[in-house]
Amino acid sequence: MPSPAALQGLRVLDLTRLLPGPVATLRLAEMGADVLKIEPPGAGDAARVMMQSAVDEVAARPGVFYRLVNRGKRETRVDLKTESGRAVLLALARDADVLVESFRPGVMERLGVGYEALRKVNPKLVYCAITGYGSTGPFAGHPGHDINYVAYAGVLDQLATRDGAPVLPNFQIADLLGGALSAVTQILAALWHVARGGDGRFVDVSMAHSSYAHNVIAQVALANDDAAALQPGGGLLNGGVPCYNLYRTQDGRWLAVGALELKFWQTLCHAIGRDDWAERHWSLGQAIGGSDAAALTRELAAIIESEGLQTWIDRLEAIDCCVSPVLTPGEASRHPLFNAEVLQAIMDDMAAKQQAQEAAPHAQAAPLHSGGPATSGFVCASWPEGRPR
């Protein structure tokens, strides 16, 4: 009999909008929490129409963005600008375990439903405020979005091309790491405190501060007074060594080489027929960002570019060398790592081949995967209807 969800019975009020807060409460819902999303009357959460497709607009339904980050939640409308609406929230908070909001600091207090007001009706309530720059301090009232938080935190500077130009990633680091994940972590810690008999508490999550705290490798470079490591291609993890780098393939795709440890690098060198490179590694004295590292990176790039991506997947995926294809989001959605249907199809195929071998014990055993070593079975070209070909 399966165990119940870890947060089964936990009652969460979600007053957040857009991305960070809804993802935080989504993660709580995925662990079994009962999340009630509270939106204002009228248009509600702006995420309902953000990135909304024409099909969803015609069907008069919220877009995929809203549905994705709010799945598994109950919904209601409450107007906190009215006395009756505030009374509803107070009644809900009386029986809740957690409340999460993402207004600018001071908004909930001005409405009369801030932490101090809510703790009077429920001293055990864990109240989490997700803000851009914290609930106090000189930037508390400043507006912002993910791009602003990572810019201030020194993170965007570290996402740069070789010429130093910042790269705007289509992955919201501050919103998701600094906001959602930090909120979940601190909420669970506060709940542990309550579970041991303590009172609820105010959890202040600043997306900018959390992003800054997670900029670990840059902080290492600062502590070491190593300015070069902060530049693209100058550090261990940003392109300064051939064993941890990105390489273009013959078909214009990319291969991610993460052979950071010597054993993985030596395995890779052997697999590509360059055992003479095995000792040219940062752990054996190769200068990070130095001339030999740059020269060897160019040599390895020439080899990688001589074959297409699928060839490298077939050759390297199954061996211990930490090499991976750079997949598109569509390819990732069809990969057996993330697609249960595809994984099951591969497992069924392997089981059928195994049964065939066992049914003919005197026949010469054939490998479960023809044409090379066993891999995940992934092929970069699109699989029709998400099925492996």
Active-site residue set: 145, 175
| Cα gap 358→123, rounded to integer Å | 65
Can you spell out the DSSP letters for 85-112?
HHHHHHHHHHT-SEEEE-SPTTHHHHHT
Query: How buried is 168 (Cβ within 10 angstroms: 0-12 exposed, 13-18 middle, 19+ buried)?
Result: exposed
Residue pair 371/314 in contact (Cβ under 8 Å)? The answer is: yes
Residue pair 114/108 in contact (Cβ under 8 Å)? The answer is: yes
| Cα gap 252→285, rounded to integer Å | 32
| Cα gap 105→209, rounded to integer Å | 15
- Long-range Cβ contact pairs of 250-254 (< 8 A, separation 24 or more): 250/305, 250/306, 250/307, 250/308, 251/308, 251/309, 253/308, 253/309, 253/325, 253/326, 253/380, 254/309, 254/325, 254/326
Pairing of strands 244-248, 202-206: unpaired
DSSP code, position 303: H
